Chains A and B, each alone.
Chain A
Amino acid sequence: SYELTQPPSASASPGQTANITCSGQKLGDKFVSWYQQRPGQSPLLVIYEDKKRPSGIPERFSGSNSGNTATLTISETQALDEAVYYCQAWDRGTLFGGGTTLTVL
């Protein structure tokens, strides 16, 4: 069965860039979405179709997808970006990665 693999944790200092990866076999052939989940809240879509931002999501959030890896990049990281980030792709239904906890130190 298809799997999406994310590192359990990532960190960045305020103002720096954070990169969160999501890996899967030939993931670049699929469309990837990313969700942000703050504690106690429902997930929020931050990137869809690899690199598109929904209205209201800051330009600091960007995405890419190639080969076996999709990447969510958060530039000029802020304390409010601390959250768990999930990638999502479709393969005989949809599936999520295991989530990456971003800490802004």
Chain B
Amino acid sequence: QITLKESGPTLMRPTQTLTLTCTFSGFSFNTDGVGVGWVRQPPGAALEWLALIYWNDDKRYSPVLKSRLTVTKDTSKNQVLFSMTNMDPLDTATYYCVHLLDYCSVTSCPYFDHWGQGTLVTVSS
């Protein structure tokens, strides 16, 4: 059974750097194709993809936010770390980590088949 859980600060001040941890179980980065991504959702708004990291350390970032994002993994701890610099009140959102498998090919594309419960991060002075 795959589970993911986000942890980190719930309140941030503007300009600070957010660091969230996704701790997962039921799968491993030792398995080819495994990926973990981050998605956020401002209150009352739509989902927005942020970043993902694959088993082979390949990383992908949202083109819009790329300059502010960093994602790393700790295979031995089954964790993924996500950082976003220069936080702003507009970054107030629930942040989810998600599980996915593999890259797009001619015959398939990955999907987010398991989601964490999400963690609400509020940015306020």
Q: Which A residues have a C-beta under 8 Å from some C-beta of B?
A: 1, 30-31, 33, 35, 37, 42-45, 48-49, 54, 86, 88-90, 92-99
Contacts and interface: CB of A to CB of B under 8 A. Distances in A.
Nearest to A30: B109
Contacts of A96: 39, 46-49
Given A45-B111, A49-B108, A94 B49 contact: yes
Interface of B: 37, 39, 46-49, 52, 60-63, 96, 104, 108-113, 115-118
Contact of A33 (B48, B61, B111, B115): B111
B46 A98 contact: yes
Nearest to B37: A94
A74 to B, nearest CB: 18
Contacts, number: 58
Nearest to B66: A93
Nearest to A98: B46
The residue among B49, B96, B112, B116 with the most chain A CB atoms within 10 A of its own CB is: B112
A98 B45 CA distance: 8
A89 B61 CA distance: 15
A42 B117 contact: yes
A93 B113 contact: no
A94 to B, nearest CB: 5
Contact of A42 (B46, B109, B116): B116
Contacts of B61: 93
A44 B47 CA distance: 12
B111 A48 contact: yes
Contacts of A93: 49, 60-63
A93 B116 CA distance: 20
B46 A45 contact: no
A86 B46 contact: yes
A43 B47 contact: yes
8 contacts: A42-B115, A42-B118, A44-B115, A48-B111, A48-B113, A49-B111, A93-B49, A93-B61
